[in-house]
Structure formats: structure tokens, C-alpha cells
Chain A
């Protein structure tokens, strides 16, 4: 599609930032950034994690004050001293992280960002209506703490749209949507553009930037390294601008055929489970088996039971019978996490901070926490005293950090001091370091920049090709297509039949995720 009014320089820019600089201590997070966004334009902001995108955006939204530089809004110089002021100017923002309140309902969360005194019932009704119009269904009365990442993002978007802003800043909005839902969102965004609204669109997904955006500003290490019309670029050329070098292409050797005997390293036999909380999903007769050497991808929109399935396989929730989960041929349905780890399995949950890692503990302590049962001999000494062997922990941490190319600021930083991508590399590396024969990962690269994501995917492929069975639960379909050997989709707590990657395409997986797959294979296990 072409836009008529908003070619470069046409008309006065809605927002114009010049020489914006933000210094934290000795770090120049943003270094003299110029950015101009025209009226009725979808402007992409590209850059790896740590390139300064979120710092820049926070300054535009008033959550941070620039060290130097100016912001012009509708032709006038402004000082955006706080987010409330940004909103009153007409700048809305959909945050990627940390802006919802877990203990409050969706409607209450939305109410907090509206300045007017509207009662909750009206807000709930308006949220429902906006959600329907834009294909973002939400339950306004649901507690946000019970919602999945995808549902939270929907609330963020609705909350922003309800403020009726002139400029909408969207931080990775499609990372949790199905292709069909993303298409709906694009329709919404294009409609907003045709209504004369401007959008600052932050994304790692280069294809959608090329499809949607009129202009792109690319950041690297806090500086603008390029401005372009993404429609005239290729994904490769955009990635080169972003990363500064070519993106690593995942190498996948074909699966080595099973040599002898049963080599289903992980089996799930008829897993059913009642919902554990008022908003959690029940699981219905889930059956799957993963062989040595293959990656089994599980697609699905957030909140369809992926989290519950992960908890069931990892042993956070035990099953009714031992044979429901079998790891390396042994019944594990009644075994806890440590016992399953000892059978050779490894698990990386979705939430990094708080679930995968203890935020305020250094990496070595976090390493020990997941490995003390399986590698106690290495990391603990003194017999029953179980004294920490700091030297071997440090050694192992160093090995993982080197292996996974974890970038850190201190020798042994707290988990919370790492960026999302680097922490994820460490958490995956922590498990890979054991060379597990079964690996289950939930959302391996959510919010991780392109370079780190490629590294993680390659590591998972290498693990599988080395003879392990890997399950990847992901909402990123490009990722699943890139690394999986078979893909199944979860919908309403049921798992579809797995389809070999050769027979798979975007449309079909989208239908499967919507629960409407007309599989051409005669199904054996599906209920």
C-alpha cells in the first residue's frame, strides 16, 4: 500500500527530536539522536537490544529526562516532564514490559491511565468494544496477574487506544500474536494512519516493518546509523544496518534417522489436567513424543495452555499417573523437577526473572540453583555440609558465558543486571552446559534481539542434532519454522496433530492455532 501525504519532509513533522542525548553514569545510552515523525506516518525504530531504543522512547514519553537535546511537538519546543504530560500532549505508549499492575483487574489497569474520571463499568464496556473493533478480545474483569503475556499486551494496546492519542508508540506489539491476529492489527494500524495518526513502531521483525512502515530510523550503540524507506530495502539489508554485520543463518543438518530401538526420549501420554486457578487453562488428553535428534515446535496464541503444559512436563505440577510423562523410557509423571532433571531433562521457563532466575542473585548462584541436584558433585563439597565450591561455579559460569557469548558489565553480575537477551542466553547455556538428552524451552527468544536469538536457536538445533530431544514452545512462528522438525499447535488446552515441517506453511499453522485445522493426516491420538 502507498501513502499519499506522508513522504519524507512533506508537511510539518508531528514530532521532531534533535540531538537527544541521555547519559547514565559513564554510559551514553543515546548519543545525539535526531528523529522526526510526520503526521499520518508509521515510523519504524529499529535496533538491537541495548541500542538505545527504549531509552529514546522513554524520553519522548517523559519517563526519562534527556541529558541534553530538544523535543519539538507540532512545531513547538516542549519539555516532556512526565508521562501524564506526554499523554495530555497526545502521545500514547504501549509498553513492552513493567507497566501493568498484577493485583488489579484489566479494567482497573486501563482506568489508571485515563485522566478523566470514568467509572469502571463504562471503561470495561469501552475496552470490550475497542477490543472487538480491533480484534483484541479481553475480559475486563480478569486479574492481570492471571493473564498470559499475549493477553497483557492486548490490554496495553487497548489502554493506549482509549486515550485517543496523535502519536502512538508501540514496543514490539506483534511479538505475541498469531499471523492472522497480526494482520488484524496491521489493518488497525493502517486505519489509524489513514485517520491521520502517527505511529512509532519498534520491532525486531523486519518483514513486518517492510510491509507496514513508511520510514525507518536505525539505531546502533546509541547513535542513528541510518534512515531509510523500509519498503525499498530487503530484510537482509535492514538487518545489516541494525547489527552492523550479517546475521547468522541457522544451519540445520537433516535429522539423523533412528538407528536402533525405541528412541522416543520424551513421551506425553494422555495428559489431562483441571485448571489450577480461576483463569488458568485446563489441558485435554495431550499426547506427543519427541525423538532423539529432533526439535518439536509447539505454536499457539498466548494463554492456550502452553504454560500449563510446560509446568506439567517440567514437574512443577505432578501428574495423576507415573506413565503420563516418560523421560528416556522411564515413568516420570510423579517425579518432581529434580528427579526429572536427574533423568536427563532440562527446562527453561518463559519468565526469566523470578522463574528462570533469581533477579538479585549473581549468575554463579543462579547457576547452582538449577544444577545442585544434578551436578552436586562438582559444585558442592564437604559431604553432608554441602559447601559451595565458588571456584568451580565461577569456572562453569565463565564457560557458559563464553559459549553463549553473554555480554555483561561486571565480573559476576546479578541476574537482573543483564539485558533480557543476555540473561536468556545465560539461562539456556546453563542447561546446555549439562548436555541434556531432553530439553524443553518456553519462549526461548521472546524480547531477545536478532543476534542473540540467532545464537540461541543455533544452540538448540546443535543440541538436537547431537542426539537430544528438544521441545520449543514459541509464539514466534518464524522461529518455529526456522528450527523445528515437526510443529503442533495448542488451542484451548488441546494439542493438534504434529505436522512435519515440509508439509507446513504459515496459513496452515495459523488455522491450527485457531483450532480449525483440517488435517489431511488420519489422526491417531487426537481426541
Chain B
């Protein structure tokens, strides 16, 4: 396996958790809910995934557990913000803090244990093709899920009736309610989908990226996912582009540091964040497109008048 191919593979691995978490948050925000708890849901997914995989020896069961953990954790957010109508920003922040703390407690006994790595696909012949073989046919299952997720979310949002309803709820919940859409139900489902995605993204970290448990191992990826959604103007393909750009710069700067380029490492480490934001700001300059895609009722509480 050549150097270039290896780099491409690691780029995909670095981009995948961001892509999955951001894709989930995209659906949540398109429904008009701002869930800042992505980081918390992600870390809960990571710890649940690691724990279950470690106990059962099955990475697949671990992944399932991570998805369920993320969804269950988001349900707490949903109950607080949608049923009790608490402030979404404050509740989301609390969810992140709670997730970081709870996962550290749950995972205390996991520290140092060997993890279970999710096996990459290995299709004879196809996976052995030069350059693209490993990249297209020899990756871990979560990579393929992330690509299918991007296609699926795009199709759902812009081609299905349910997606249209979801966008309508995010644009104007009062009108949607007047049309008989069950706004709170739609939002619950969206929030749980977002939670499940965040949980899956966490599982990718603890089962694929670095198959072990380290406290606070999401290290801010949840926040980057949130930023991706906004700077991608709530459009799925831009999230994909942003996630891969972030992944590419992350890996690129690591290699650059390894080569001993005379730039302070702190600067290099901040490069992925900087580059992603600059590029996404540049491509989101079209105000009209941005306005068109921004969910107007994002973060606004909805209380139907009865």
C-alpha cells in the first residue's frame, strides 16, 4: 500500500465521524431544533459502543448500542425542550456537559482495556486494485454507512413528502401546525435521528478510529459537526465536502509535522478548524441561497395555542 493511498484512507477515517454527526444535526436543525448537545451524545455513543463491544466481543453489537445510547440521550433533550419547552441552547449545552461527565464515569473501568476493532471489508480482487481498491472496497462498514446516510438524507429532505413536512416545520411551525402537521412529533423524531447519528459517530471513534476508550475522546468533534451544518448552509453535499476538507487538513498537517516543517505545532493543529471554516464561509457567501436554506424557526420554542 503506497503512502498516498494510506493518506487517503486516513482522511476518510478522520472525516467519517464528522460527516455522520453533522448529517444527523442537519436533520434536527432542518426541523427547527437547535441541539448543541452533539458532543455529549457522541461521547455517550463512544462509551456505550466501546463497553458493549468489549463485553460481548462484537463490534456490531457495540455499534448498535452506540446508536441506541445516542438516541436515548437525545430523547432527554427532546423531552426537556419539546415537551417542557426549555431553552434549546441552554439545554443543549447542559446535555454536552452531562454527556462528558457521565461517559467519564461509566468508562472509568474501560480505561486501558484493549478495544474491539470493527473489521474493514476485504473483497478479494476488488480490494486489491491499485490506489482505489482499499479506498472504495476495503474500508470499515461505518464509512459506507456514512456515504449511504448522506445520499439518504438528501433524498429524504428534498424528494419525499415526509422531508417536505420536516422542512416546513423548520421554516414556520405556526403554519405547519395550522395545516395539521404534528409539529412536536416531527421534531421528536428528528431529534432522535440526530441522537442516533451522533451515537454512531461516537462508535466510529471508539471502534474504528482508535479502538480504545479515552476520556473525552471526541475532543470537540461534536462542535465541529455543529459548525459544519451552519457553514454548509444546511445542505448535505456541502457538509460532505466540509467534513472531508477537515479530514484532509487534519491528516495533512500531521504528515507535515512529521516531516519537521518549521511551523509551530499549535498552529498546525488549529489548521483543520481554520481551513474548514474559511472555505465554508467563502462558499456560503450567496446570501439568497443561505437565507433560502436557513430554517427560519431554528431554536424557537413551539407552544401550540389550544
Binding site for B on A (CB under 8 A): 62-65, 82-87, 95, 98-104, 108, 111-113, 117, 143, 145, 277-278
User: With contacts A101-B168, A102-B171, A112-B165 known, is A143 near B292, CB below 8 A?
Assistant: yes
Nearest-neighbor residue (CB-CB) of B304 within chain A: A63
Q: Return the 3 tightest CB-CB contacts between A and B, nearest first.
A: A84-B180, A83-B180, A101-B171
A276–chain B nearest beta-carbon distance, Å: 10
Q: Which residues of chain A have C-beta atoms less than 8 A from B175's C-beta?
A: 98-101
Nearest-neighbor residue (CB-CB) of A113 within chain B: B179
Residue in B164, B174, B291, B294 whose CB lies within 8 Å of A112: B164
B interface SS class: helix
Q: Which residues of chain B have C-beta atoms less than 8 A from A65's C-beta?
A: 306
Q: Is B167 an interface position by the 8 A CB rule? A: yes
Contacting A at CB under 8 A, from B254-306, are: 288, 291-296, 305-306
Contact check, A103 vs B293: say whether CB atoms are below 8 A apart.
Answer: yes
Q: Which residues of chain A have C-beta atoms less than 8 A from B171's C-beta?
A: 101-104
Distance in angstroms between the alpha carbons of A98 and B296 in the assembled complex: 13
Total number of residue pairs linking A and B with CB closer than 8 Å: 62
A469–chain B nearest beta-carbon distance, Å: 34
Distance in angstroms between the alpha carbons of A1 and B295 in the assembled complex: 48
Q: Is B10 an interface position by the 8 A CB rule? A: no
Contact check, A87 vs B180: say whether CB atoms are below 8 A apart.
Answer: yes
Q: Which residues of chain A have C-beta atoms less than 8 A from B288's C-beta?
A: 277-278
Distance in angstroms between the alpha carbons of A85 and B178 in the assembled complex: 11
Contact check, A64 vs B305: say whether CB atoms are below 8 A apart.
Answer: yes
A interface SS class: loop
Distance in angstroms between the alpha carbons of A102 and B293 in the assembled complex: 10
Q: Which residues of chain B have C-beta atoms less than 8 A from A85's C-beta?
A: 180
Contact check, A82 vs B180: say whether CB atoms are below 8 A apart.
Answer: yes
Q: Which residues of chain B have C-beta atoms less than 8 A from A86's C-beta?
A: 180
Q: Which residues of chain A have C-beta atoms less than 8 A from B176's C-beta?
A: 101, 112
Contact check, B172 vs A101: say whether CB atoms are below 8 A apart.
Answer: yes
Distance in angstroms between the alpha carbons of A85 and B179 in the assembled complex: 10
Distance in angstroms between the alpha carbons of A266 and B243 in the assembled complex: 55
A169–chain B nearest beta-carbon distance, Å: 12
Distance in angstroms between the alpha carbons of A345 and B165 in the assembled complex: 45
Q: Is B238 an interface position by the 8 A CB rule? A: no
Contact check, A83 vs B178: say whether CB atoms are below 8 A apart.
Answer: yes
A-B contact pairs, 21 of them (CB 8 A): A64-B306, A82-B180, A83-B179, A83-B180, A84-B180, A86-B180, A98-B175, A98-B178, A99-B175, A100-B172, A103-B167, A103-B294, A103-B296, A104-B167, A108-B164, A111-B164, A112-B164, A112-B165, A112-B176, A112-B181, A277-B288
Q: Which residues of chain B have C-beta atoms less than 8 A from A63's C-beta?
A: 177-178
B160–chain A nearest beta-carbon distance, Å: 10
A217–chain B nearest beta-carbon distance, Å: 23
Contact check, A112 vs B179: say whether CB atoms are below 8 A apart.
Answer: yes
Distance in angstroms between the alpha carbons of A104 and B164 in the assembled complex: 9
Nearest-neighbor residue (CB-CB) of B294 within chain A: A103
Knowing that A104-B168, A143-B292 touch, tell me 6 more A-B residue pairs with CB under 8 angstroms: A63-B177, A83-B178, A101-B167, A103-B171, A103-B293, A112-B164
Nearest-neighbor residue (CB-CB) of B182 within chain A: A82
Contact check, A102 vs B161: say whether CB atoms are below 8 A apart.
Answer: no
Q: Which residues of chain B have C-beta atoms less than 8 A from A87's C-beta?
A: 180
A256–chain B nearest beta-carbon distance, Å: 47
Distance in angstroms between the alpha carbons of A107 and B266 in the assembled complex: 51
Contact check, A112 vs B168: say whether CB atoms are below 8 A apart.
Answer: yes
Distance in angstroms between the alpha carbons of A459 and B171 in the assembled complex: 38
A360–chain B nearest beta-carbon distance, Å: 11
A143–chain B nearest beta-carbon distance, Å: 7
Contacting A at CB under 8 A, from B134-183, are: 161, 164-165, 167-168, 171-172, 174-181
Q: Which residues of chain A have C-beta atoms less than 8 A from B181's C-beta?
A: 112
Nearest-neighbor residue (CB-CB) of B295 within chain A: A103
Distance in angstroms between the alpha carbons of A277 and B287 in the assembled complex: 11
Distance in angstroms between the alpha carbons of A98 and B294 in the assembled complex: 18
Distance in angstroms between the alpha carbons of A111 and B179 in the assembled complex: 11
A265–chain B nearest beta-carbon distance, Å: 35
B235–chain A nearest beta-carbon distance, Å: 12
Nearest-neighbor residue (CB-CB) of B30 within chain A: A103
Distance in angstroms between the alpha carbons of A101 and B165 in the assembled complex: 11
Q: Which residues of chain A have C-beta atoms less than 8 A from B177's C-beta?
A: 63
Nearest-neighbor residue (CB-CB) of A85 within chain B: B180
A3–chain B nearest beta-carbon distance, Å: 31
Q: Which residues of chain B have C-beta atoms less than 8 A from A277's C-beta?
A: 288
